[in-house]
Amino acid sequence: MNFSEEFELLLRARYPLIYIPTLEEERLEAAIAQSAKQQGNRAVYTWDFVDGYQGNPNDVGFGKRNPLQALELVEKLPASAAAVFILRDFHRFLEDVSIARKLRNLARTLKSQPKNIVLVSPQVTIPDELGEVLTILDFPLPTGSEIQVEIERLIGALGQNLEPRVMDDLVRSCQGLSLERIRRVLARAIATHAQVRPEDVDLILEEKRQTIRQTQILDFYPTSANISDIGGLDNLKDWLLRRGGAFSEKARQYGLPHPRGLLLVGIQGTGKSLTAKAIAHHWHLPLLRLDVGRLFAGLVGESESRTRQMIQLAEALAPCILWIDEIDKAFSGIDGRGDAGTSGRVFGTFITWLAEKTSPVFVVATANNIQSLPPEMLRKGRFDEIFFVGLPTQEERKAIFDVHLSRLRPHTLKQFDLDRLAYETPDFSGAEIEQTIIEAMHIGFSQNRDFNTDDVLEAASQIIPLARTAQEQIHFLQEWAASGKARMASRQGRLSDRLQQ
């Protein structure tokens, strides 16, 4: 049931007091006016504290700076007059005893009259004494269809046509923004180059970044990482590329559900975090990073409230990528924590949402220690897939060296012996390979020359890879993956590469 259907049902059922939290006053009032017209052409009266009632010539300015008088107009109209009263920002007056008492009296009176009072507020603030008489109705952000209509209206005024693929990208990127923000960011694009272009997706993502700057729970991560920046992990990359269009309207018409997410388990420094960034960039979706530690607050009940706020914010900005780095550290040993069960309740809320969510929030969780994860996290249905990201094979190490050296020395890349570098760095992770190249650059720079293959090999000889200092943990991870509990991220499916040496 969409908003209009639910609102019209409340009108017919004579719900006297309806509370709608939203920042989109203009769009909400248009929707209410449309519903009022459908319900026997009901009159609509709109009030705010500064200007009083507006719209109806007989009542212009009535109740100006007087919220109690604004409620009195409801009683002045004949009992048989069908009407909807929209009261803006009325949450600020609900703590006043006279306002609260008047609303409770009206709630009894209006049960037998075709009148409804709609309180519009940017947030939910309801005193206990009004909890029983107020009905909260959510007003969702614009749907994909509404966004497309608005974009078509704007570009139609320019005489411009967009390819279906470009339109689909723009619509998907705009989801999670209010209609006013969408108009603003597209107006900025039009003012910049007199048309709407595919590149304007980046402007839209920046607008989403502005939205989440207001919260202390999620961070917006701008990223320019590409799938091609990931060396190796061919199975994982193929899996991701197949789902590149899964958030489109075409996928919905085909019957595909939104992808749920994936869990990346493996050794530190093997590219798990880079993968999350590359997914967001390749799919043109905003990347939100959750620091689970921020969910836990000192006040009783606040941690659970922050968890719900995080979920609401992520869903409001959907479609998006929600990146949870090192989730194993956040929820390890939750049964033994002395926090009166707060950790368990936060975890329960989170995994329930993972299992039941229908919104296009793609969750990418990374973990280094599978033993620390609660068994519920690994159950089927939480994620679409669990991938094991192991140490790169020799061929993958060559690809990783190629990625980094192509970025740092594109003009002299052919002078590096990539095969030798890959052969001489067994057990090195991607992060350790990157650090080796940086160390080689220091060697060359200190001698006032460019670095070369020998410098990289010298730097590699000075690094002891994690695979040798944490052999026991890595062997456990490899055996766990080999038992079939996770899908291999690398196509060249060797679990160890000279690890025994």
Which pLDDT score, from 0 to 100, does residue 453 have?
94
Residue-level pLDDT, tens digit, the chain, 501 residues: 789 999 999 999 999 999 999 889 999 999 999 999 999 899 999 999 999 998 777 888 999 999 999 999 999 999 999 999 999 999 999 999 999 999 999 999 999 999 999 999 988 888 889 999 999 998 988 888 889 999 999 888 888 888 888 888 888 888 878 899 899 999 998 998 888 888 888 888 778 777 777 666 788 877 778 888 887 788 988 998 888 888 887 888 899 888 899 999 888 888 888 888 888 888 888 888 887 777 775 544 567 777 877 887 788 778 889 998 888 877 765 655 555 567 778 888 888 888 888 888 999 999 888 887 888 888 877 899 999 888 888 998 999 999 999 999 999 999 999 999 999 999 898 899 999 999 999 999 999 999 999 999 999 999 988 888 877 877 888 888 888 888 888 875 444 443 333
User: What's the CA gap between 211 and 175, in Å, rounded?
Assistant: 12
Q: CATH number for the domain including 300?
A: 3.40.50.300
Indicate whether 23 belongs to any domain: yes
Residue 61 contacts residue 18 (beta carbons within 8 Å): no
323 lies in the same domain as 185: no
Residue 287 contacts residue 320 (beta carbons within 8 Å): yes
Token pair listed for 415: 């002078």
Residues 6+ apart with CB under 8 A from 207: 177, 181, 184, 185
81 lies in the same domain as 8: yes
Strands (E), 38-184: 43-48, 52-54, 83-88, 115-121, 134-136
376 lies in the same domain as 417: no
Which pLDDT score, from 0 to 100, does residue 495 have?
43
The DSSP letter of residue 481 is I
179 lies in the same domain as 305: no
Indicate whether 26 belongs to any domain: yes
338 three-class SS = coil
Report strand pairing: 261-266 vs 385-389.
Answer: parallel
Which pLDDT score, from 0 to 100, does residue 334 have?
61
384 lies in the same domain as 451: no
Indicate the pTM of the whole model.
Answer: 0.65
32 three-class SS = helix
Q: What is the largest CA-CA distance in the chain?
A: 93
Indicate whether 483 belongs to any domain: no
Q: CATH number for the domain including 191?
A: 1.10.8
Q: Residue written as tokens 């139609």?
A: 156
Which pLDDT score, from 0 to 100, does residue 367 have?
87
Indicate whether 219 belongs to any domain: no
130 lies in the same domain as 148: no
256 lies in the same domain as 180: no
449 lies in the same domain as 322: no
Residue 287 contacts residue 277 (beta carbons within 8 Å): yes
**162-201: burial string, b at 16+ Cβ within 10 Å, e else:** beeebbbbbbbbbbbbbbebbeebbeebbeeeeebbeebb
Indicate whether 34 belongs to any domain: yes
250 three-class SS = helix
Alpha-carbon distances, residue 481 vs 26, 272, 280 (angstroms): 54, 16, 26
User: What's the CA gap between 220 and 215, in Å, rounded?
Assistant: 10
Indicate whether 112 belongs to any domain: yes
Indicate whether 489 belongs to any domain: no
User: What's the CA gap between 140 and 479, in Å, rounded?
Assistant: 47
Query: Residue 35 is part of which domain span?
Result: 3-136
Which pLDDT score, from 0 to 100, does residue 418 have?
95
Residue positions counted in the chain = 501
181 lies in the same domain as 93: no
Q: Residue written as tokens 């769009």?
A: 27
Token pair listed for 391: 């140490």
235 lies in the same domain as 381: yes
Number of domains in the chain: 4
Torsion of CA 185, 189, 195, 198, to 10 degrees: -90
250 lies in the same domain as 321: yes
User: What's the CA gap between 29 and 17, in Å, rounded?
Assistant: 16
Residues 6+ apart with CB under 8 A from 341: none
Sign of the alpha-carbon dihedral angle for 250, 254, 260, 266:
negative
Report strand pairing: 52-54 vs 43-48.
Answer: antiparallel
